[in-house]
Chains A and B, each alone.
Chain A
């Protein structure tokens, strides 16, 4: 690889993002071992990446301002907050499950299998409830973390996040508030490898009753 080509193709960025083929990677390594500019660029990029991986790129903490509130204002707000907390808990509690969480509570998850394995299951959800999904990872193996994304049939993303990868053979358990689905219809859950090497789709139909 020539220096101009390395610069023009953002080779350093592609290298640290893991986007190069094996042949490209070998060619770029051969180059930066002899090119001090690219070697320097790689070392800087690697320090940045290593620093982020070590958790040194923290989010800026929101500024906290201390302010005294008059008691007449505090009491109604505290009551409203308590009410909201209770209502929120009730809303997030798995639908159809009675009782409180003072004892064990069984969940009845719906199992999702990769799109290539059989028909699309229908999941019944109640407004304000929560759906428990047990996602069968099949043969897919995830290193440490995986990312997930839920899309409706128009392709709009309604929910996403990342989670620690379950141990091999174990399903991924996802608690999804019904509000994420919005309306009845076909949805797709996509699980992605943290390194972007693979993604698996799970199609299912949501019926909100």
Chain B
């Protein structure tokens, strides 16, 4: 995270993105986002709008999308707020990409629960496919980032790729997911453990067993 920095402000960047405006569809969405906040508080829509802009850039570049400085300025102007305030938001949240990314942004969780469940092997599997942390592969397909807890610890280890989470991974399962994505297919999201639906305890419940079928009052047993 320390090496996050906005892509440099060059004439080429200005040339490419200086003319950024919402597509008709996104303009409509932007209006909806803004209208969710009371009069005079339009600035509150800055986060959804940054996300929307990132997606629009993504659609234009066939990547996950990112936020070039001119686009950040566009949002500031759209919401009539100082651009430094928008940049503060964009740099605070790691989900906003400040530099170009590839088609798939592979975010491997490396926080303690995932680490204990083998996130090192997951990273290793990524390296093996030629990915390098913090950069985009030559074919423009993969960008690899190590991130902190994504809130899926119960199904650790996990990676987030663009809008999907892939959990209960092993190097093989990850390879399968990545192969499918590379082939243009949409692999199943969520847990990759056969027989598991979401984050329920694998192998059946171990606690609160009486609750499975009907409500049960445990209080008398405390």
Q: Bound pair: A and B? A: no
B residues bordering A, Cβ < 8 Å?
Answer: none
A residues bordering B, Cβ < 8 Å?
Answer: none
